[in-house]
Chain A
């Protein structure tokens, strides 16, 4: 039997050198994100605590609205498990082109560049990761955050005026505001809600949480404000709620209201988005896009108009 050795005494005599450099590798990862994002003027996230309120529809249409105004736009779809931006823009089935400088995103209507988990998946197959994911969801959280980190670090966007990031649904302890915290020099968050009280309740929580994380919440978009009957043309309210009061209470500008528009939604479902800027609902998106630009240039507006 060997003599008992005192590890503490041995280590005291040795000089420790960190060969693995795990912390350094992770710092390098974050630096990569910074470098990659540096060519993007305005980075915005689109979020809502509630699912199904139309985040992706809003993201895509705001991107198209910005592009129509002659700016360079990208969409990052970080809903890893339910990516739908590519399908809406008719890009489903395409993929990122891997090159030495990074992954080159496919280009959709009006020159909008798109990166999405969808580009890594087959039809109808969910994201499945290797490894013992069934043992603990903690792995999954770690994995997913790192996948998102790769989306931020490895996509070759080039110079962009706007990058719109479509976040998955979720409010607080879930990831969305944390993901937003990942993005360097984030200009702010656009919050999407429907006028229902259930949605606004959850949306309010995500606004508070985002603010706690130091994310500037720029304003609220009310989606599905009203419903136009396709046969008789009558406009009715879809929900009963008071988004204005919520905006007032949260001290947020209401950026605009979007009606539930079956005709427009169908074109996106089919991957052949309607691009006609004279179409009334699209005009509403144009207005919201204009307001967001004003908010981003708010200092200039103040200097000019005050």
Chain B
């Protein structure tokens, strides 16, 4: 923030900050040309703004103390000063009107709301979500595939939010493979199927088993990524060696 001396047509200089009272700061400026003095006094809101940012008005002159802001803004005793700012505003700015009335009058222009009353309805519609926040077609479990009863049972045991994800990924796999019926075997196979269509030689697959099981999926993805980078569709022992060599560099 700057002040301009309109008489001298020049910026006034920042001089000092004082604390004339609780929740207020007095910032002093002087005109270098006509020597006029100014003090800007902040209201509690502005004071809070500055202290919340942890910055010093007029620039920092001394190093910050540890936990300067935390310690400086914690209330010393448990006297919760109720509605300080509201009272201040009411008194100084709104000329004694109840704060709520002023807020109501200034917020929200009439006719701004959409017919449904929800300001986000347009956005929700655009995202293809229903008002409950779920994808519009999530509930409809109509499937072009026949699910074997055990596969269906396994799917139904999944938590409701997981189910659509699993169902669509299994079906995508089945579609790709040209299956019409989804069995437990298809479900299992789909898990090992990679979206980029890479296949693993039995030897490479076996080597992957050396990796602790909980990081195996990460390792699998990493290997496939390297293979893809090199334009190879099949993961061979050679690709494994390349990945190994790549990671040896990190050791």
Tell me which residues across on chain A come within 8 A of B83, comparing CB atoms: 134
- Inter-chain contact B80/A128, CB cutoff 8 Å: yes
Which stretch (B113-121, B124-132, B140-148, B239-247) binds chain A? B239-247
The binding surface of chain A is classed by DSSP as helix
Partner of A131 from the list B14, B47, B53, B55 (CB cut-off 8 Å) is B47
- Inter-chain contact A131/B51, CB cutoff 8 Å: yes
- Which residues, 82 to 110 on B, are CB-close (under 8 Å) to A? 82-86, 88-89
Q: What is the chain A residue whose CB lies nearest that of B74?
A: A120
Tell me which residues across on chain B come within 8 A of A17, comparing CB atoms: 11
CB distance from B136 to the nearest CB of A (A): 19
Q: Is A301 an interface residue (CB 8 A)?
A: yes
- Inter-chain contact B67/A96, CB cutoff 8 Å: yes
Q: What is the chain B residue whose CB lies nearest that of A156?
A: B66
Tell me which residues across on chain B come within 8 A of A291, comparing CB atoms: 212, 214
Tell me which residues across on chain A come within 8 A of B1, comparing CB atoms: 20
CB distance from B200 to the nearest CB of A (A): 13
Q: What is the chain B residue whose CB lies nearest that of A242?
A: B159
Tell me which residues across on chain B come within 8 A of A150, comparing CB atoms: 54, 66-70
* Residue of A11, A219, A242, A253 with most partner-chain B CB within 10 A: A253
Which stretch (A57-65, A196-204, A229-237) binds chain B? A196-204
- Inter-chain contact A253/B217, CB cutoff 8 Å: yes
Q: Is B232 an interface residue (CB 8 A)?
A: no
Q: Given contacts A5-B6, A291-B214, A301-B211, are A21 and B159 in contact (CB under 8 A)?
A: no
- Inter-chain contact A306/B244, CB cutoff 8 Å: yes
- Inter-chain contact A249/B214, CB cutoff 8 Å: no
* Residue of A127, A132, A291 with most partner-chain B CB within 10 A: A132
Q: Is B37 an interface residue (CB 8 A)?
A: no
- Inter-chain contact A306/B73, CB cutoff 8 Å: no
CB distance from B45 to the nearest CB of A (A): 6
Q: Is B78 an interface residue (CB 8 A)?
A: yes
- Inter-chain contact A146/B69, CB cutoff 8 Å: yes
Tell me which residues across on chain B come within 8 A of A51, comparing CB atoms: none
Partner of A249 from the list B7, B66, B165, B218 (CB cut-off 8 Å) is B165
The interface size of chain B toward A, counting residues with CB under 8 Å, comes to: 76
- Inter-chain contact B4/A11, CB cutoff 8 Å: yes
Tell me which residues across on chain A come within 8 A of B230, comparing CB atoms: none
Cα of A29 to Cα of B22 in the assembled complex, Å: 26
Tell me which residues across on chain B come within 8 A of A29, comparing CB atoms: 54
- Inter-chain contact B250/A7, CB cutoff 8 Å: no
- Inter-chain contact B247/A131, CB cutoff 8 Å: no
* Chain B 46-63 interface 0/1 with A at a Cβ cutoff of 8 Å (1 = within): 011101111111111000
Partner of A22 from the list B55, B157, B159, B207 (CB cut-off 8 Å) is B55
- Which residues, 238 to 255 on A, are CB-close (under 8 Å) to B? 241-242, 245-246, 248-249, 251, 253-255
- Inter-chain contact A303/B66, CB cutoff 8 Å: no
Q: Is B219 an interface residue (CB 8 A)?
A: yes
Q: Is B158 an interface residue (CB 8 A)?
A: yes
Tell me which residues across on chain B come within 8 A of A305, comparing CB atoms: 210-212
Q: Given contacts A20-B58, A98-B67, A103-B67, are A245 and B52 in contact (CB under 8 A)?
A: no
Q: Given contacts A125-B78, A219-B214, A306-B244, are A132 and B85 in contact (CB under 8 A)?
A: yes
Q: What is the chain B residue whose CB lies nearest that of A17?
A: B11
- Inter-chain contact A26/B55, CB cutoff 8 Å: yes
- Inter-chain contact A302/B54, CB cutoff 8 Å: no
Tell me which residues across on chain B come within 8 A of A19, comparing CB atoms: 14, 58-59
Cα of A232 to Cα of B201 in the assembled complex, Å: 52
Q: Given contacts A5-B6, A16-B2, A241-B159, are A132 and B23 in contact (CB under 8 A)?
A: yes
- Inter-chain contact A14/B11, CB cutoff 8 Å: yes
Cα of A272 to Cα of B218 in the assembled complex, Å: 39
CB distance from B40 to the nearest CB of A (A): 12
Q: What is the chain A residue whose CB lies nearest that of B72?
A: A130
Cα of A14 to Cα of B10 in the assembled complex, Å: 7
- Inter-chain contact B74/A127, CB cutoff 8 Å: yes
Q: What is the chain A residue whose CB lies nearest that of B204?
A: A306
CB distance from B120 to the nearest CB of A (A): 13
* Chain A 252-273 interface 0/1 with B at a Cβ cutoff of 8 Å (1 = within): 0111000000000000000000
Q: Is A173 an interface residue (CB 8 A)?
A: no
Q: Is A154 an interface residue (CB 8 A)?
A: yes
- Inter-chain contact A102/B250, CB cutoff 8 Å: no
Tell me which residues across on chain A come within 8 A of B247, comparing CB atoms: 299-300, 302-303, 306
Partner of B210 from the list A251, A255, A306 (CB cut-off 8 Å) is A306
Tell me which residues across on chain B come within 8 A of A242, comparing CB atoms: 157-159, 162
A–B complex contacts, Cβ < 8 Å, 26 sampled:
A14-B9, A19-B58, A22-B53, A99-B66, A129-B73, A130-B75, A131-B23, A131-B84, A134-B82, A134-B83, A135-B89, A142-B52, A197-B159, A242-B157, A242-B158, A242-B162, A248-B166, A253-B214, A253-B218, A255-B214, A298-B215, A299-B247, A303-B251, A305-B211, A306-B219, A306-B240
Apart from A134-B82, A146-B69, what are 11 other A-B pairs with CB-CB below 8 Å?
Answer: A14-B10, A26-B55, A130-B22, A132-B85, A154-B67, A242-B158, A294-B214, A302-B247, A306-B207, A306-B211, A306-B240
